[in-house]
Amino acid sequence: MRPIDFSIFYKKKYSTLHDFTSANCYDILISAYNDSERVKKVFDEISASQKHWLVFPEYQYTAAEIPAQLGGTAVFNFTGNSSRTEGEIIREYFSGLKLSSATRICIDITGFIRPHLIFLVRFLASAVKNPVDFIYTDPVTYKRKEDTFFSFDYTDVRQVEGFQGVHNPDSTNDYLIIGSGYDDQRITDVSKKKANAKKVQLFGFPSLQPDMFQENILKAYKAEEASSSGRENFIDKDATLFAPANDPFITANVIKEYVDKEERSKSITNLYLSPLSTKAQTLGFAIYFLAECEGKPASIIFPFCDHYSRETTEGISKIWKYTIGLNDLLVI
């Protein structure tokens, strides 16, 4: 296995939606439906032969609220059965899709439920040979600042399908790396589930907007009792990482550098990753796992909830495009 530098992957920032749409067009656009302007507007304006809305059960849309199938827009509604796992939903969606090596796929990750996005990455790594464009739209602000609520009706922390790893009975030096966002209750949930692991928090810095870092820290501090592992300081240089909130590649690199450093001093018995921050960082966690953790005592774990807010942000700031050859990551 050769060492990988995730920063070599292609990413591009577009200052306006117009800049993005005039430079890119696709065969299929896949997006997760919710009420955010930054999801709907991007979906409407991107140029693609087929546009697919995935409607996830966690947004709890009623039949009357589901968007209409118009022209090239197809709607894949999974709201009927909330007990379906991320794997079942994504597999079902792709089972009716014909993809060739020439199909240009664009996935707007902005509205995705995280475990579904993570599984999608793993699924595409096996199913698609050519690179895929992932796009992520920065918001201007979170609706209620640090009081914004994202997820409700927590059920359990479990491994994300496809990221379940080969774990080690020896748990004397387990690590849990949490991508800590605003959703402090979920940080607590995941920390409590792996209580014995040394917890490391990865924060989005620089954040999507200047004021968001402070809001993020304020929220994450609420989970301090569970996530601090008894440390004296909340921001501890040995247990705090920073990566840009909208950069999956630096996120993956930061995790890799940290894990490699720790491994050099003492072998990590089990590594758990839990991306709870931006979707861009979630993508970073997933690609790090694909490239570095397959077949190892590592997994991605997630605090599953039955219900997510349909709209948490306001405005459209920038649009990011990340181009990733997922299949290449598997064989690295």
Partner 1 sequence: MNAPNPFNITTAVDYSDEEINRYWVDFMSYDKSFPQLMKTDSPMPMLILGSKGSGKTHIMRYFSFNSKKIAYQDDFASRLVEDKYIGIYLRCGGLNSSRFQGSNFSNAVWKTLFGYYIDLWFSQLLLLIVEEVIFSTNVEVDELKICNEITSNLFDNDIQFEACKSFSELRSLLRALQKQVDLEINNCSITGKTVVDVKILVSPGRLIFGMPKILERTVSIFRNFQFIFLIDEFENLLEDQQKYINTLVREREAPVTFRVGARWYGMKTYKTFSGEEDIKEGSEYEKYVIDRMFREKKDFYDQFVKEICVRRLEESGYSLASNNLTDFDFSQYYEKFNFSKYFESLAKRGDRIGHFTALKSVLKSRLKATDIQIIVSNLSFPDDLVLERTNVFIFYREWRRSRGTGLVAISEDIKNELDSWRINPDGRTATRHYIVLEKFRNDITDQLFREAQDSIPYTGFQNLVRMSVGIPRLLLITLKHIHRWSVFQGENPFRKDIVGVSAQIKGVEEASTWFLEDARIPGPNGKKVSDVISRLGQFLRELRFADTPPECSLCAFSINLNDINDNIRLVLDYLEQYSYLINVPDRIEKNSVRKFVTYQVNWLIAPKWDLPLSRRGILQLSKDEVSAIFGDDSDNFEVLRRNKINRYNAPFSDVSSGQSLFDEIDL
Cis omega (within 30 of 0) for bond into 139: no
Complex with partner 1: residue 122 or 279, whichever CB lies closer: 122
Task: List the structure tokens of 68.
Answer: 């209409």
Q: What amino acid is encoded at 239 in this protein?
A: A
Residue 109 CB, shortest distance to partner 1, in Å, is 19
User: Is residue 204 classed as helix, strand or coil in its secondary structure?
Assistant: strand
Cα–Cα dist 209/202, whole Å: 17
User: Looking at the chain, how many residues does it have?
Assistant: 332
Residue 192 CB, shortest distance to partner 1, in Å, is 8
Query: Cβ distance 28 to 106 under 8 Å?
Result: yes
The contact set with partner 1 (CB under 8 A) reads 85, 87-88, 91, 119, 122-123, 126, 153-156, 158-159, 161-167, 169-172, 174, 185, 188-189, 192-196, 222, 225-226, 229-232, 270, 295, 299, 301, 306
Place of tokens 């690609």: 287
Cα–Cα dist 231/194, whole Å: 16
Complex with partner 1: residue 226 or 259, whichever CB lies closer: 226
Task: List the structure tokens of 187.
Answer: 């940080």
Residue 92 CB, shortest distance to partner 1, in Å, is 9
